[in-house]
Chains A and B, each alone.
Chain A
Amino acid sequence: MNELKLVAVTAGLGKPSSTRLLTDRLATAVTEHAGAGSAVDVHVVELRDLAVDIANNLVSGWPSSALGAALEAVSDADGLIVVTPVFAGAYSGLFKSFFDLVEPEALTGTPVLLGATGGTARHSLVVEHALRPLFSYLHALTLPTAVFAATDDWGAGADTYGGGLPARIDRAGREFADLLARLAGDGIPRARVERDARAAGQDELDGPGGQGEADVVPFEQLLAGL
């Protein structure tokens, strides 16, 4: 049986943070709906812990080993959950800076569940006008259902229509688990297959033990391509 690699990127700055809380609930919902038939490996990336490394990568050009591992986990994920607090009407700068460091093709075809937290429900469309275009740019496959949690949603004053936040989390988890299952097809998630094919194209650096000489673009071909 193939283990599903679910990676959750969370950009909350507090400890504990409501952003992390929403992230964990979404991950749990996806895992539950994935059912007994499939094992899910959940890996949470806390951007707060990587904040200085992210800034250093922006100015120096390379990631620390911890940041490198996080970027690799995100690039290798079968499904991504991304959750950011709303800052100045959009995702936080830390959240954007992290995704600025992901290789341009790394998320192509990767299913993504969008989430955001904010002070009031007036920010709820941030998932549509800020988060979704970012992941569309990265050619990721965003789930139509996204989850926004306002402060009120955690207590009295919550929007209880249709079951409130717990129901919205549950619905998103169910739909995302369905999407992952459908994309998995014969058991190997399609995002992983496509990513492996892409990686094979880049593996000329990895030598004959890996993908072999066929992956180098021979120089005659570079000349002929002019």
Chain B
Amino acid sequence: MQFGIFTVGDVTADPTTGRTPSEHERIKTMVAIAQKAEEVGLDVFATGEHHNPPFVPSSPTTMLGYIAARTERLILSTSTTLITTNDPVKIAEDFAMLQHLAGGRVDLMMGRGNTGPVYPWFGKDIRQGIPLAVENYALLHRLWREDVIDWSGKFRTPLQGFTSTPRPLDGVPPFVWHGSIRSPEIAEQAAYYGDGFFANNIFWPKGHFQKLIELYRRRYAHYGHGTPEQAIVGLGGQVFMRAKSQDAVREFRPYFDNAPVYGHGPSLEEFTEQTPLTVGSPQEVIEKTLQFREAFGDYQRQLFLMDHAGLPLKTVLEQLDLLGEEVVPVLRKEFAVGRPADVPDAPPAHPALARA
């Protein structure tokens, strides 16, 4: 089982001090957090992709390439890469290059984004969101698997005799996840290709995601990739910990109350009751995370959101210490118990990693 963190890369004022970090500071912070993730024994660092303030990560492979050079084991990923508004040719090139530089420690997650104006900014029509995701990924999939392609489609200029370079490391493309919070079409897409499905369940109650994941598992089997239980599932999570539960609540509350996306809405108590958010002791985080398996079945990757809403770097690093030292070792052990032998405990690793 893989454990890691995913970051939105927001530049948000610390509500307890009123101080807003600069973009430069935030970018350096993200790198420090990624390095810390490796240091404390986590497996994955994933960055979001955004093209508007207050977010800094517009250029994920640049950042991941830099992190690749400063880490040795960490798998570098995205959450998500915009399959709708990026040119699939550029995605193919950028991530193949990253794969070579990182020695295969790369996978990526496709998403459609949640910011409407990004579509027109990149010359696309938001009403075509699903068709764009379908066509662009079909092209990306071929670009990594066929050396020379002839292609024409609805949304991009045609390609004749085109070769995407560099070719994937050892001829093996990066593993791909498809992220969705709402669309059954995306679960279907992940199932069709035998790719992973990531349900970012951090904002929504679980019943909705149970249906989506169940659909993905069923269709994964339908397309002959394995049993429903063997499908590759990833989940989100969000935690804030202190040794004493009440200390965690007291410290996190101002960040929660003012957080982008859900701040000034439901109370911390309502939110923790209805979503995966856990604010409490490491033991409480362990208990809540173990419940995910009961709801969604044995799964392969757990990513936590740890560094948003203006939390200072020092606090985030302390959180990662707790996660790496007290939470993840227990989760690894517990998740291994009862996992059937024929259910993978991680997404497929690049063959280059076995040699390393």
Contact = CB atoms under 8 A, between A and B. Distances in A.
A206 B205 CA distance: 16
Contact of B211 (A206, A208, A218): A206
A217 interface: yes
A156 B264 CA distance: 46
A64 interface: yes
A14 interface: no
B188 A219 contact: yes
Nearest to A206: B211
B54 interface: no
Interface string A172-201: 000000000000000000000000000000
Interface in B198-242: 203-205, 208, 211-212, 214-215, 218-219, 222-223
Nearest to A59: B265
Interface stretch (B128-136, B168-176, B318-326): B128-136
A33 B131 CA distance: 50
Interface in A4-61: 55-56, 59-61
B205 A216 contact: no
Interface residues of A, number: 21
Nearest to A63: B205
Q: Give the interface centre of A60, A206, A207 by most chain B CB atoms within 10 Å.
A: A60
B184 A226 contact: no
Contacts of A208: 218
A165 to B, nearest CB: 40
Contacts of B116: none
A106 B222 CA distance: 31
Contacts of A225: 131
A226 B135 contact: yes
A60 B259 CA distance: 11
Contacts of B131: 222, 225-226
A211 to B, nearest CB: 12
Contacts of B223: 219
A219 B141 CA distance: 15
The B interface is mostly helix, strand or loop, or mixed, namely helix
Nearest to A221: B188
A205 B215 contact: yes
B189 interface: yes
Contacts, number: 65
A216 B184 contact: yes
A216 B222 CA distance: 11
Contacts of A56: 265-266, 270
Q: Give the interface centre of B191, B208, B211, B266 by most chain A CB atoms within 10 Å.
A: B266
Contacts of A204: 184, 215
Contacts of B153: 226
Contacts of B191: 219
Contact of B262 (A59, A206, A207, A218): A59
B94 interface: no
A88 interface: no
A216 B203 contact: no
Contacts of B134: 219, 222-223, 226
B184 A62 contact: no
Nearest to B203: A61
Q: Give the interface centre of A206, A217, A222 by most chain B CB atoms within 10 Å.
A: A222
A206 B214 CA distance: 8
A62 B204 CA distance: 7
Nearest to B223: A219
A213 interface: yes
Contact of A219 (B189, B262, B264, B274): B189
B205 A223 contact: no
A169 to B, nearest CB: 39
B355 interface: no
B333 interface: no
Given A207-B215, A223-B138, A60 B188 contact: no
B154 interface: yes
B192 interface: yes
Contact of B203 (A62, A206, A213, A222): A62
B185 interface: yes
B130 A222 contact: yes
Interface string A48-88: 00000001100111101000000000000000000000000
B270 A64 contact: yes
A223 B219 CA distance: 16
Contacts of B135: 223, 226
Q: Give the interface centre of A55, A205, A225 by most chain B CB atoms within 10 Å.
A: A205
Interface of B: 130-131, 134-135, 138, 153-154, 184-185, 188-189, 191-192, 203-205, 208, 211-212, 214-215, 218-219, 222-223, 262, 264-266, 270-271, 274
Closest 6 CB pairs of A and B: A219-B192, A59-B265, A205-B211, A60-B265, A56-B266, A56-B265
Given A217-B185, A219-B189, A226-B134, 19 more contacts: A55-B265, A59-B262, A59-B265, A60-B203, A60-B265, A61-B203, A62-B205, A64-B274, A205-B212, A205-B214, A207-B214, A216-B215, A217-B184, A219-B191, A219-B223, A222-B185, A222-B188, A223-B134, A226-B131
